[in-house]
Structure 1
Amino acid sequence: MKANRRKFLKTSLVLGTAGIGLLETGVANAEWNAADFAPNPFDAAMKQLLKGKTIIETDKIDLNIPEIAENGALVPVTVTSRIEGIQSIAIVVEQNPVPLAIQAELMPELDPFISARLKLASTSFVYAIAETEKVCYSVKKKVKVTIGGCGG
């Protein structure tokens, strides 16, 4: 019985190892652009993000983020949109050393939705920017970072 089990395990290992190339899924489409996430002034980061497109403030983007963050290291944020044709959503934090916190490109079949936890260096405006083919839409909220959870 042991010989059969060992033979089965060896055969399974060989076939499993050889089959990795056959069953491999496509290459992940994640791409890291270090220049986008480098320390920049807020205005330079926005200019680089918008790529010459106009920006329009709208109420069709929902930016759910607490008004007071007791811990600036873990601030939950959720962005949803009711705008058609969104290609990407970005979250930019005005007072952070690296203003661009998140940039997610979306497939057309997906609902425009992202959720994450941000690190805020200090009290700041947080922008959600939804990019379409021709225009960028934005909404902003001020988040107050407190020390020790005190609202003062």
Structure 2
Amino acid sequence: MTASFGPSVTRRLIIKGIGAVALVGLGHATLGPWPALAAANDKYPEDAFKQKNANEAIKALYGRDHEASDKVKLDAPEIAENGGVVPISVRTTLNDVTSISFVVSENPFALAASYKIPEGTVPAVANRLKMAKTSNVIALVEAGGKLYSATKEVKVTVGGCGG
């Protein structure tokens, strides 16, 4: 007589596997974000992320105007064949950088991402943004109590034709 491993064994293994994954996920959820939350000393800029206009988002986040700077290097494609995943990065040679943010002028909500830069950290950030349509991408760098920027137009094609 041979041993038969029927559907009940398979279900049992699946349930055990789901339980193990949930346990690992729970451990990550309870242990993972605490150091990041403890390090954050500023309130989440909820109002800035709700703004539909780029200038209003910048004002809500920083409360002041920005000036273009050649020390802020924004790298973004000229043409994005997939607006759902647009790779961008920014780096700077400015000293005392405290934050870096990305604004997409024509998105339904202009502020796409904002990062606090801890002292001693290399001031460089890379991200993949979702863009609704062709738009200016503005990289904002707060350094030494001033706000600097670099802007680049990214053309989003429909259907990935590149034209």
Using the size of structure 2 for normalisation, the TM-score is: 0.72
Which ranges of 4 or more aligned residues in structure 1 deviate by more than 6 Å?
none
Q: Which of 108, 126, 130 lines up with 2:137 in the alignment?
A: 126
Deviation at 1:149, TM superposition (A): 1.8
Give the direction of change, closer, same or farther, for the CA distance of 1:27–1:92 in structure 2 (3 Å limit): closer
Q: Which amino acid aligns with 1:38?
A: K
Q: Indicate the SS of the match to 1:139.
A: strand
Give the direction of change, closer, same or farther, for the CA distance of 1:39–1:56 in structure 2 (3 Å limit): closer
Q: Indicate the SS of the match to 2:46.
A: coil
Q: Which of 75, 82, 86 lines up with 1:71 in the alignment?
A: 82
Unaligned stretches of 5+ in structure 1?
A: 1-19
State the identity as a percent.
37
Structure 1 Cα separation of the partners of residues 68 and 53 of structure 2 = 21
Q: Which amino acid aligns with 2:48?
A: D
Structure 1 Cα separation of the partners of residues 35 and 72 of structure 2 = 32
Give the direction of change, closer, same or farther, for the CA distance of 1:39–1:49 in structure 2 (3 Å limit): closer
Structure 2 Cα separation of the partners of residues 114 and 77 of structure 1 = 8
Give the direction of change, closer, same or farther, for the CA distance of 1:33–1:143 in structure 2 (3 Å limit): same
Structure 1 Cα separation of the partners of residues 124 and 137 of structure 2 = 16
Using the size of structure 1 for normalisation, the TM-score is: 0.77
Aligned residues: 129
Q: Indicate the SS of the match to 1:130.
A: strand
Q: Which of 46, 67, 84 lines up with 1:56 in the alignment?
A: 67
Structure 2 Cα separation of the partners of residues 60 and 133 of structure 1 = 13
